[in-house]
Amino acid sequence: MTIQVIWTYRVRKDSVAEFERYYRSDGVWAELFRKSPQYHGTTLLHDRDDPLKYATIDRWDSWDVYQAFLREHKKEYDWIDNMCAEFTTEEARVGSFEVIE
């Protein structure tokens, strides 16, 4: 069963371009995730009513695959995450949702 991991962010006004560069479908995060053949892309969403609010949706084959990837690539994941912390004032994982088909 496939899953979609959803995150929301509040971006610093002076960091919008950098944030988008890192989080878009061909950005730095997606580049890391593409190391797994069980990763199926990222969608970056921008709130129409709030110019500093964004969301991402990462698609994976399963929860177990996603967790294994995070363990296997923890050092690189943490390095990118720490670097990207300067782009945002808030970050929250909404959840990991199973796709119903």
> What DSSP line would sit under 46-70, residue for residue?
E-SS-TTEEEEEEEES-HHHHHHHH
Rounded Cα distance, 8 and 90, in Å: 8
Domain ranges of the chain: 3-98
pLDDT confidence of residue 101: 79
What average pLDDT values come out for the chain (101 residues) when binned by 10 residues? 94 97 97 97 97 98 96 97 96 95 79
Q: pTM here? A: 0.93
In CATH, what number does 3-98 get? Answer: 3.30.70.100
Show the tokens assigned to 86: 């300067």
